[in-house]
Amino acid sequence: MALLLKYLPYANAVVLAASLVEALVLAIRHGWRRYDWKASAVSVTDFLIREYPLRWLLPLAFWGKTMNWFWLHRLWTLPMHHWSGWLACFIGQEFCYYWYHRSAHRTRWFWCTHAIHHSPNQLNLSAAYRLGWTGRLTGSTGFFVLAPLFGMPPLIVMTLLSVNLLYQFWLHATWIPRLGPLEWILNTPSSHRVHHAANLDYLDGNYGGVLIVFDRLFGTYIAEKPQVPCRFGLVEPVTTYNLLTIEFGHWGALWRDLRASRSLREALDYLMKPPGWRPDGNGATTEDLKRRSDAHMRYVEQQ
């Protein structure tokens, strides 16, 4: 544990260096103009501002105290001197991350931050660290606060979450093929390409961090199909490199919808229902898009 904490601070430098190496290789191989250097610059700026000034301005003090309170009132204590305790913490953290990540796609309040991670129209290693600035304000850490109640030490939970996010860095690659039997257990580049794809066939799937098993258990696993190439980015592609527009555009749209709400219930639905929801049922949620696509296919078949 001490060794892990010692080397985690160096991860930022390794991540930035690796993404630069990949950028140079891809640009040389496919052409300098085909690599989206502007998008990578946006990602680097997002990363540097989030990791340094914002981390100081927006500490995790509230969530840390909450986790410590649950730790003091825990139902039992896991044996952290034994491998079984560490395995339980790892699986528990993965379970919490799965539900956080699923909620980040299926609840508009959380999506306003998470959409920034999905905004690049090219998938590469620099896209991995474009995570947005408002995650701590939305309460995403709240998905992990109950873990200490079940005997998982707060420091270990948060450290394993850091390892989880660091593991996912290498998943943001288009040049790594499917990995055979590992696809059944681990989140892989193939699974994560699907997660980042905006194709209707691929929406809302593969939420796992290190593991893919919870997606298989809860029915959200989607396999990459050779006949359906991934189109990366959002359903409505981002066409700007303006960092402030990328960071706060979804929040602005949410605010406009809240102001136009005709009731408190409608306002809460805008906050808590999936992105794209509309009160008249003619929105752009995944379900709306699939329903219209199915209706179009039936119409074409009848002609």
Q: According to the model, what pLDDT value does residue 1 have?
A: 56
Tokens of 60: 């995790």
CA-to-CA distance for 48 and 200, rounded, in angstroms? 33
Residue 178: alpha-carbon gap to chain centroid: 21
CA-to-CA distance for 201 and 271, rounded, in angstroms? 25
The neighbour count for residue 126, using CB atoms within 10 Å, is: 28
Residue 232 bridge partners (DSSP): 197
44: left (phi over 0), alpha (psi -120 to 50) or beta: alpha
Please report where in the chains the tokens 């052409």 appear, as a residue: 31
Residue-wise burial string across 79-99, b where 16 or more C-beta atoms lie within 10 A, e elsewhere = ebeeeebbebbbebbbbbbbe
Residue 93 near residue 160 (C-beta atoms within 8 A): yes
CA-to-CA distance for 178 and 173, rounded, in angstroms? 11
Tokens of 150: 């079940």
Residue 1 near residue 162 (C-beta atoms within 8 A): no
CA-to-CA distance for 218 and 206, rounded, in angstroms? 10
CA-to-CA distance for 216 and 82, rounded, in angstroms? 28
For 24, 56, 198, 296, the CA distances from 233, given in Å and listed in that order, are 22, 30, 6, 24
Residue 125 near residue 109 (C-beta atoms within 8 A): no
Q: For residue 108, which of 241, 284, 280, 233 has the smallest C-alpha distance?
A: 284
Q: For residue 111, which of 95, 93, 127, 134 has the smallest C-alpha distance?
A: 134
- HSE, CB side, 13 Å, CA atoms: give it for residue 274: 14
Per-residue pLDDT of the chain (303 residues; tens, 9 = 90+): 554 555 666 888 999 999 999 999 999 998 888 999 999 999 999 999 998 888 777 776 667 789 999 999 999 999 999 999 999 999 999 999 999 999 999 999 999 999 999 999 999 999 999 999 999 889 888 999 999 999 999 999 999 999 999 999 999 999 999 999 999 999 999 999 999 999 999 999 999 999 999 999 999 999 999 999 999 999 999 999 999 999 999 999 999 999 999 999 999 999 999 999 999 988 999 999 999 988 877 877 776
